[in-house]
Structure 1
Amino acid sequence: MRTQTISFTLGPTLWMSANHSGRVNTHWAVTRRKTMNLRRLAAMQARAQRLRPPRGRVRVTAWVQYPTRGRADPNNAAPTTKALIDGLTDAGIWPDDDHTHVIGPDHRRANGTCPRGLHIITLTIEEEAKEGAES
């Protein structure tokens, strides 16, 4: 079973939160632009890092690091992590991000803090153990 990680340091121009979706001041074109930029970033970084396509289905954990130690809801990062995973699909890491190829992402809070104004998302990509394979 192989595990790979890829990290993204995101400023406010790329960060999207489920808490912000549907707000009057968030125009659909702004959301679309951020989504496309996140997809491009993920695809370029995956190619630069030479992530290898898995040999089967994977489980993805999204570790979200915040600039403060206060309370946080990592699941609110879903719009951002969805765009990043779509970018990994664009890079050919897996054929599709549907349930037959990708389980998750499971959002978790990462330890520590990152610099003010930033968020760091680390995706852990773990190949699922094949049935009958020894651990």
Structure 2
Amino acid sequence: MTASLETLPGIVRPPSWRIELPAKTLLVNANDNLHFRRKAERVKVIRNAAWSVARHMKIPALERAHVFFVIHPDTKGRRRDPGNWAPSAKAAVDGLVDAGVLPDDNHTRLLGPDPRIGTPVPGAQLVLVITDLDAMDPAHITLLNPTGDPT
């Protein structure tokens, strides 16, 4: 028999939110060779979409958070490297900052964004999972402040 984290004594699951950008949003891949204006247009759309979804979901202001992103690639059968979509995740995190979810996306406020690969969907989709680090046991978040200095 296995136990989930919720059933172990003393373990409290911190609050988290799942932001799904609209499917078929044109994402930015590190391997793309886009003209800078086309790339800027895509970054703006991703940033605004993340801002809009975060505001609609009424995600509260967080001091520190862990973010990982799940890329659901297009249905074309190829091998995928989820880290190649980091520029899209960066734009989405900037949208979270614009929405007031995070005060900044520097190393003292943000752990991640960490890439994951999801199941393929037509047109591709980016999903962010945001976890409130301040609601976690401080012993589990030393990676954010490895020196132990107060932030």
What TM bracket, shorter-length normalisation?
Answer: 0.7 to 0.9
Summarize deviations over 1:22-64 as a string: whole Å, max 9, x none.
x3xx21111111111211111111111111222x321111011
Q: How many residues align?
A: 124
TM (norm. structure 1) is 0.83
Task: Please give the alpha-carbon distance, in whole angstroms, between the structure 2 residues aligned to 1:132 and 1:109.
Answer: 28
Does the aligned pair in 2 maintain the 1:17–1:80 contact within 8 Å? yes
Identity %: 31
Q: Which has the larger radius of gyration?
A: 2
Summarize deviations over 1:62-91 as a string: whole Å, max 9, x none.
011112353100000011111011011001
Does the aligned pair in 2 maintain the 1:62–1:123 contact within 8 Å? yes
Partner of 1:11: 24
With CA pairs under 8 Å and 6+ residues apart, which has the higher RCO, 1 or 2?
A: 1
2:138 aligned with 1:131, yes or no? yes
- Which consecutive segments of 4 or more residues in structure 1 shift more than 3 A? none
1 or 2, which has the higher strand percentage? 1
- The 1:132–1:78 alpha-carbon spacing in structure 2 relative to 1, beyond 3 Å, is closer
The Cα shift of 1:10 comes to 4.2
Q: CA RMSD in A?
A: 1.8
Summarize deviations over 1:94-123 as a string: whole Å, max 9, x none.
10011111110000001x2212xx111111
Q: Select 1:76's aligned residue among 73, 78, 84.
A: 84
2:36 aligned with 1:35, yes or no? no
2:132 aligned with 1:119, yes or no? no
TM (norm. structure 2) is 0.75
Task: Please give the alpha-carbon distance, in whole angstroms, between the structure 2 residues aligned to 1:95 and 1:33.
Answer: 24
